[in-house]
Amino acid sequence: MKFLWDSALGLLVVTGGLLGLTLPFGKLATAAGVPAVVWAFVISFGAGGVLLGALLLNGERIRLSPHRLRYFFVTAAVSYAIPNLLMFSAIPHLGAGYTGIMFTLSPVITLVFSILLGVRRPNLLGVTGIAVGFVGAVMVATTRGEAGRPAEFFWVAVGLLIPVSLAVGNIYRTVDWPEGTGPIALAAGSHLASAVMLLAGILALLGAGAFGSLGGVPLVTVAQMASAATMFAVFFRLQAVGGPVYLSQIGYVAAAVGLLAGTIFFGEHYQLLTWAGAAIIVVGVFITTKAQSQTTTKAQSQAA
């Protein structure tokens, strides 16, 4: 366990796999009539509550300050509430597998934002990777979901906003990480902030009766809460060990799990162009990752 906690690759596989389970869980929930905003609340409340309980049992607590409160609520919005609402709203229209492919765009968009914000300077290989990833994204977008069931362009656009929001979160969490605060405390605080925001939206728009829909999927609800709590504890550790661009690659694992679950368990079928586009996106991200490692190596050699 100690080795896993310090291994970027191990953390990446675990986090991405648990994130991928969110897609089939979400499809089961929305098919049972659970509103997207309620299911997003389940994830944040479950993760935040379990992680807070673990902190308290360990004799720790979340220390509040203006900086930490800002971090909690900004992270809650761009990393959890918004992408989860987009994801669970899009799944019924795009399919779990197709929606999962959107996660693979997060590394490329994260790198673009890091370049634009001056966090990382581009090189030719990095620009090439971004261009390749963009071509793959266009190919996937044109297929518009499952084969024979093209979705409206609106829902494709909603799906494409998922990696944009995730990329913003990847950059923000690294840039504004509160000094001296551990990953479990940050995960708990951010998810509880997300739960508060989503609860306010549910009560204002749907009323308390909306939670009654969870009675139709009790086992899925418990499984999702447990999965989310585990995933986000590991997620923030991966952020600290691997950095924002490496973290964004959980999208590969999540997309693979989503595609397999959609194809095997839900009978989803996708066009060859969709699979080809997904493969090209992966190639683009491998190129951008290679560019990142070259830049890091160069910076380290110059510092030496």
Residue 61 domain-assigned (yes or no)? yes
Residue 303 domain-assigned (yes or no)? no
Exposed/middle/buried for residue 259 (C-beta within 10 Å: 0-12, 13-18, 19+): buried
Residue 1 domain-assigned (yes or no)? no
* CA–CA separation, 144 and 150 (whole Å): 5
| pLDDT (0 to 100) of residue 122 | 59
Q: How many domains does the chain have?
A: 1
Residue 179 domain-assigned (yes or no)? yes
- Sequence letter at residue 256: A
- The answer to whether residues 248 and 166 touch, using CB atoms and an 8 Å cutoff, is yes
Domain that holds residue 124: 8-298
Residue 227 domain-assigned (yes or no)? yes
Residue 44 domain-assigned (yes or no)? yes
Residue 138 domain-assigned (yes or no)? yes
- The answer to whether residues 39 and 30 touch, using CB atoms and an 8 Å cutoff, is yes
SS (H, E, C) the chain: CHHHHHCHHHHHHHHHHHHHHHHHHHHHHHHCCCCHHHHHHHHHHHHHHHHHHHHHHCCCCCCCCHHHHHHHHHHHHHHHHHHHHHHHHHHHHHCHHHHHHHHHHHHHHHHHHHHHCCCCCCCHHHHHHHHHHHHHHHHHHHHCCCCCCCCCHHHHHHHHHHHHHHHHHHHHHHHCCCCCCCHHHHHHHHHHHHHHHHHHHHHHHCCHHHHHHHHHCHHHHHHHHHHHHHHHHHHHHHHHHHCHHHHCCHHHHHHHHHHHHHHHCCCCCCCHHHHHHHHHHHHHHHHHHHHHHHHHHHHHHHHC
| pLDDT (0 to 100) of residue 239 | 75
The ranges of the chain with pLDDT < 70 are 1-4, 6, 119-122, 244-245, 248, 289, 292-304
Residue 304 domain-assigned (yes or no)? no
* CA–CA separation, 2 and 17 (whole Å): 19
| pLDDT (0 to 100) of residue 215 | 94
Q: What is the pTM of this model?
A: 0.79
- Biggest CA–CA distance in the chain, Å, is 62
